[in-house]
Structure 1
Amino acid sequence: MPQIKNKITDIFFDLDHTLWDFDKNSALTFDIIFKKNNVDLDLERFSEIYKPINLKYWKLYRDEKVSKSKLRYGRLKETFDALKIKVEDRVINQLSIDYINYLTEYNYVFEGTIEILEYLKPKYKLHIITNGFKEVQQTKLEKSNIAHYFSTVTSSEAVGVKKPNPKVFNHALKIANITKENGIMIGDNYEADILGALNIGLDAICYNYHNVILEKEIKEIKHLLDLKKYL
């Protein structure tokens, strides 16, 4: 198993899909807003089509190829089109607004989140680096009762660029007041979190619950509590 440096003092976590159970919370949110807007569909089928489309739009957003508003509208429009369901633009726009407004009504975190944060907190300073929209990320942290574990929160939106851009990681290191040699990044997205960190010399561990094939030199875990093997 690849080892980590013993100089680690600070740990940087991604939020969505790493600590905060985005897929579960998102599905529950869609259930609310579809009922509110009288959109009748099979939620399971919708989620199946929506998830890869949403990931595609987030990659476009990271690459500065779509705006926030285009992401919010486009991922819904493309999903409805794929399902051959006619939904008026007016309703799609309202759904995109309601989705953000209701998203933090549910705040499930992954199994092991509280236990691993309790384990790490006495030994390290903990931080968040997120590509999520700044207006909802702090609310997610607070409503899921994990905000108090973290010394700093870096929102890529506030920095002006998104992970994997080096500026995001360098900003996070700066406000944490440490050098890259003393930090490590933990996240689920290979491109944004892992390569983004490694490219500036920041160590990284992939929370690989997606079960993607990684190069053997990449540190990975399948459950958050497996971090105890490294840290």
Structure 2
Amino acid sequence: MKYLLWDFENTLGYCEGMWSGTLHSILENHGIQNIKIEDIQPFLKIGFTWHSPDTSHSIFLNGKTWWEYMNEYFAEVYEKVGIGKNDATRFALQVQNEYKNISKWHIYNDVIDTLSYTLNNDYKNLILSNHIPEINEVIENLGITDYFSGIYSSGKIGYEKPNIRFYDYVINDLNIEKKECIMIGDSYDADIAGALRAGIKAILVRKPNAKNYSFYCKDVQGIIELVKNMQI
């Protein structure tokens, strides 16, 4: 069997505004107009679990659940942009549902045709994503669950790509061989370098190929020929 291991966000789909847009939407919902997305963005560059991929969640979260930790983090961000402590805490608790708001999520135009082709040509598709624990809900609400044999999120595994433990967890859980797999993603560091260190072939998509990586295509439709030539 041949397995294609897909990153999700910014590879298969994307969220309008991402995390900063989510936090900003909540402010707008409460009639707060004087804080811009640009005011929020600088405070989101560190602090997520995937910003510290060498650290397991058990250590990083210090006994809290993923959302318990992040709710405190988002409350701190709100305070830093000028929201009072009580409202900051209240708004932070709304981030989970707002981020999963399916009206903000979109699938790239080339994804469905590509996934259909891979399924019809004896490949199994799996999602391997640095993401929220309930990524399955987003995938299901986008209507693409049936294209995948499995969905793995760092929020549940407890390790982030490019940590080799993330990849090893998936390989062991599926009881498959690394030589049967190709990782496909938009992040060279997380998806490509991480997979290669784990002994898995990889294809870089969408982002500019700044490192001149050999197996690259500008969209996921282009992976079809690459996959054929990589002989898994």
Do structure 1's residue 19 and structure 2's residue 12 form an aligned pair? yes
Tell me, in whole angstroms, the C-alpha distance in 2 between the residues paired with 1:218 and 1:90: 51
Tell me, in whole angstroms, the C-alpha distance in 2 between the residues paired with 1:70 and 1:218: 39
Tell me, in whole angstroms, the C-alpha distance in 2 between the residues paired with 1:95 and 1:61: 25
Query: Cα RMSD (Å) of the superposition?
Result: 2.7
* Partner in structure 2 of residue 224 of structure 1: 220
Would you say the 8 A contact 2:159–2:165 is kept in 1?
A: yes
Q: Secondary structure at the match of 2:183?
A: strand
The AA in structure 1 aligned to 2:126 is: H
Residue 38 of structure 1 deviates from its aligned partner by: 3.1
Shift in alpha-carbon separation, 1:151–1:60, aligned structure 2, 3 A: same
Moved over 6 A (4+): none
Residue 93 of structure 1 deviates from its aligned partner by: 2.6
Shift in alpha-carbon separation, 1:202–1:104, aligned structure 2, 3 A: same
- Of 94, 108, 111, the residue aligned with 2:109 is 111
Tell me, in whole angstroms, the C-alpha distance in 1 between the residues paired with 2:46 and 2:217: 24
Tell me, in whole angstroms, the C-alpha distance in 1 between the residues paired with 2:188 and 2:79: 28
Q: Deviations 1:163-212 (Å, cap 9, x if unpaired)?
A: 21212112212233320001011112222211111001100112242x25
The AA in structure 2 aligned to 1:130 is: S
Q: Secondary structure at the match of 2:11?
A: coil
After superposition, where does 1:31-180 map in structure 2 within 5 Å?
A: 32-41=25-34, 43=36, 45-46=38-39, 50=41, 53-58=43-48, 59-64=50-55, 66-67=60-61, 68=66, 69-74=68-73, 77-78=76-77, 81=80, 85-105=81-101, 106=103, 107-123=105-121, 124-135=123-134, 137-180=135-178
Shift in alpha-carbon separation, 1:76–1:192, aligned structure 2, 3 A: farther
TM-score by length of 2: 0.78
Would you say the 8 A contact 2:215–2:226 is kept in 1?
A: no
Tell me, in whole angstroms, the C-alpha distance in 2 between the residues paired with 1:66 and 1:212: 31
Tell me, in whole angstroms, the C-alpha distance in 1 between the residues paired with 2:181 and 2:16: 28
Shift in alpha-carbon separation, 1:19–1:33, aligned structure 2, 3 A: same
Structure 1: stretches of 5+ with no match in the other structure: 1-7
Residue 131 of structure 1 deviates from its aligned partner by: 1.8
Would you say the 8 A contact 1:53–1:79 is kept in 2?
A: no
- Of 161, 177, 201, the residue aligned with 2:199 is 201
Structure 2: stretches of 5+ with no match in the other structure: 228-232
